[in-house]
Amino acid sequence: MSKRILLIVAIVIFGSFKSFSNGIVEKDSSKPKTISFKIKLKSADKIKIAVSPLKYNKHFAYSFTLDDGYRSAYLTAFPLLNGGKISNSNINEWKIDQGGDGTTSKGLFYSDGMGNKIPFKLALAINGGSIRALPENRGHLSWAEVNEIYNAGWDILNHGFHHATKHGTNYLTEVTENVSSIKQNLDFTMSHFVVPGGEGDEKYYLEYEKDALNNEHFSVASYYGVGPVFKVDSKVDLDKMISARTFVQSSKDTTSFKTMDRFLKTVDSIVKQPNSIWFNEFTHGTGNSNLWNLSMRFPDFKYYMTTLADKYGEKGNDSIWMAPWQEVYEYIWLRDRIKVDFQQKNKEVIVTIQLPEIPQNFRNRAVSLNIKTKSKFEIESTKDLKIKNDGQTNHKLILLQL
């Protein structure tokens, strides 16, 4: 008997589309359309095709956000996860050390199921009014730094233009002005909002939630809401989602890893659930100092992320999909709206996928399909469709780049 094959088909829908020989793709990526492709089996064994709950058929999606756009994200967190030189001690304008240990990181990774490593990615929740290039010892990121992080696959979330919370705040202006600022400086439109924390009128966060959701934001992370743990085996209600998040921070009185171990123990208990899971955490700074006592010291952050990578990443059981909130949200949104059909005739299988109308400002457009068969297979190539194919192994990611 041939080995059972699990095929992961990732359909990534970029920009505009062209017709291709074994399928039909309409020109406007936002409009409903149908695509199709052919699987050739080595034998005529029956196959089953189902949409994967999470990308790459991972067991759990883990989203982590750094709030407020502090420069430690670029000096420490980004090079640790993506690979690169971590900053030495870096005392900022507030006399706080936003640097790290000065080492060079090889990066932290999970795999795509084909042996290709993908770096851990986080999200930044930023305030456009705080982003600037000077002084050299500034506490916040520059536009160039945000752009580099964004281009590496991290997502940028709306956190209000000024991080305003006090009485008299114009919440609507905070939401919309930050969208305009990022559009002007980085040329993309944010679509997810994180309520800024601080002193304010009682339940001020409700005003932020309302104004964000009424102004083209798909979801809001707030003080209270659904989650932060979601079972995603079945359809998830994403409509105007307001989600809670778990706040991860270092202890005020110790630099040991006991506090981090408590947080990691919670992660372990969540991951042990049989369901496919998505959960969401955040902190603020990741430098050597515990910024405003609302952050993770770099040694804690490094220990926390390295432990997750060693246990659940490509060096461990490779069950994690470490992706920003927006990326996971967009995957589940599309997953729950596509319709998949397939027709098998002997050794040939025609897979047809009906795609919904996709919002124009979606950054990530991918869905994975599990295909179970006893037979080895290959995907018939087409002139106008780029396909990455490895049908000879247990798990396969087919990338349809259109």
Which strand (E) or helix (H) includes residue 335? helix 325-335
Whole-number Å distance between alpha carbons of 295 and 250: 6
Whole-number Å distance between alpha carbons of 332 and 316: 25
Whole-number Å distance between alpha carbons of 205 and 223: 7
- Whether pTM > 0.95 for this model: the answer is no
Whole-number Å distance between alpha carbons of 220 and 299: 30
Spatial contact of 160 and 205, defined as CB atoms under 8 Å apart: no
SS (HEC) of 261-281: HHHHHHHHHHHCCCCCEEEEE
Q: How many CB atoms lie within 10 A of CB 14?
A: 11
Q: Give the pLDDT band of residue 176 (cuts 50, 70, 90).
A: very high
Structure tokens at 271: 């991951």
Whole-number Å distance between alpha carbons of 335 and 279: 17
For range 366-394, the mean pLDDT: 75
Cα Rg, the chain, nearest whole Å: 22
For range 393-399, the mean pLDDT: 61
For range 245-268, the mean pLDDT: 91
Evaluated on CA atoms 123, 128, 134, 135, the torsion sign reads negative
Mean pLDDT, the chain, integer? 89
Phi, psi of 308 (to 5 degrees): -60, -45
For the cut 60, the answer to whether the pLDDT of residue 14 exceeds it is: no
Instruction: Please report, to the nearest 10 degrees, the dihedral formed by the alpha carbons of residues 97, 101, 104, 108 taken in order.
Output: -90
Which strand (E) or helix (H) includes residue 179? helix 171-186
Bond preceding residue 356 cis, omega within 30 of 0? no
Q: Give the pLDDT band of residue 149 (cuts 50, 70, 90).
A: very high
